[in-house]
Amino acid sequence: MPTTFLASKLKKHPDKYFLSQHAYATYIIQQSNLFHCKPAANPSCTKLPIDIPIDSNLEDPSLYRKLTGALQYLTITRPDIAYAVNNLSQHMHDPQPSHIHLLKRLIRYIKGTTHFGLPITKSDLRLRTYSDADWASDPVTRKSTSGYCSFLGSTLVSWAVKKQTTVSRSSTESEYRALAAAAADTIWLKRLLTDFRINHNQHVELYCDNTSAIALTNNPVFQARTKHIKIGHRFLRENLANNYIRLLPIKTVDQIADLLTKPLSTPRFKLLRDKLTITPDSFVCGGLLEN
């Protein structure tokens, strides 16, 4: 029998556990008065329409804030919507028609994926982390967006999407800041495993698709042109020197954390969603998965 706790349901399968929030996702759709809306295949859009229609169901700012807060809780089991929710959360004080349009699109996406969730499978206990950044992505403040996700074996255990606190002067700097945040989370996960008496003696593989950031991390000399990066980020190289982490390059096309930093085309979004292991419950509709 499935176990439900704080709107999260854990279902046991023969080969895995499945963590989801189907009932809570349905509740959000009902609160938005969009229960009969047409599902969308992508929670974000790469380009907004020129003429954005006014939606009378969502034009109330208080409803926008209520739904966005509820969606933040839904990201506990749905990291595939983490970027879209993070973007909406930055405009809760004054939502504009474009933000309401994006909120409606996100709810339409959830409408078609209410049975999606996070599988927990039996596998090895080796950590690996993917880190990415979208340089100067905010059109107003020109701050970058950091995103990273960590896997324990084949199970996704940690992820984050966050706007960086300062403006980065180059893509290398923004990627380096994202790497530092990812490394901090990775070291914390290693210590958490130790508390559970699981010794993770090998280094953690940390993947980045920016060769300049990797070179900067491996360079023992802190170049004058990069002194504007906070000295606190030096701990990234210290953990590298202590063999706690191992920094590896990865092709941009294979960078899973890309889904956490920017809106993507639908084919690429679905590809990375699968790699992020966000899938529908295989027991839904007699085991038929989403087309």
Which H or E element spans position 12?
A: strand 8-12
Using pLDDT thresholds of 50, 70 and 90, give the confidence band for residue 1. Answer: low
Average pLDDT over residues 214-239: 68
SS (H, E, C) 102-148: HHHHHHHHHHCCCCEEEEEECCCCCEEEEEEEECCCCCCCCCCEEEE
Using pLDDT thresholds of 50, 70 and 90, give the confidence band for residue 290. Answer: very low
Pairing of strands 127-134, 145-152: antiparallel
Average pLDDT over residues 205-209: 95
Mean pLDDT of the chain: 88
For the chain, what percentages of helix, strand and coil (3-state, to nearest 5) are there? 40, 20, 40
pLDDT at 174: 92
Phi and psi at 238, nearest 5°, equal: -65, -40
Q: Structure tokens of 242?
A: 């202590």
pLDDT at 218: 78
Name residues whose C-beta falls within 8 Å of residue 235's C-beta, 6 or more positions apart in sequence. Answer: 180, 183, 184
Residues 281/282/287/291 CA torsion (nearest 10 deg): 80
Helix axes 82-89, 97-111, angle to 10 degrees: 150
d(CA 155, CA 131): 17
Average pLDDT over residues 228-232: 57
pLDDT at 220: 56
Domain boundaries, the chain: 3-118+264-287, 124-258
Using pLDDT thresholds of 50, 70 and 90, give the confidence band for residue 286. Answer: very low
Using pLDDT thresholds of 50, 70 and 90, give the confidence band for residue 226. Answer: low
Average pLDDT over residues 158-178: 92
pTM above 0.85, yes or no: yes
Q: Let me know if domain 124-258 sits in CATH 3.40.50.720.
A: no
More confident residue, 128 or 200: 128
pLDDT at 289: 45
Which tens digits make up the pLDDT trace of 139-159? 889 999 999 999 999 999 999
pLDDT at 199: 84
Q: Is the pLDDT of residue 291 over 80?
A: no
Q: What sign has the CA pseudo-torsion 202, 208, 214, 216?
A: negative
d(CA 247, CA 113): 34
Average pLDDT over residues 157-177: 92
Name residues whose C-beta falls within 8 Å of residue 52's C-beta, 6 or more positions apart in sequence. Answer: 97, 98, 101
Which tens digits make up the pLDDT trace of 57-112? 788 899 999 999 999 999 999 999 999 999 999 999 999 999 999 999 999 999 99
pLDDT at 233: 62
Which tens digits make up the pLDDT trace of 26-37? 999 999 998 888
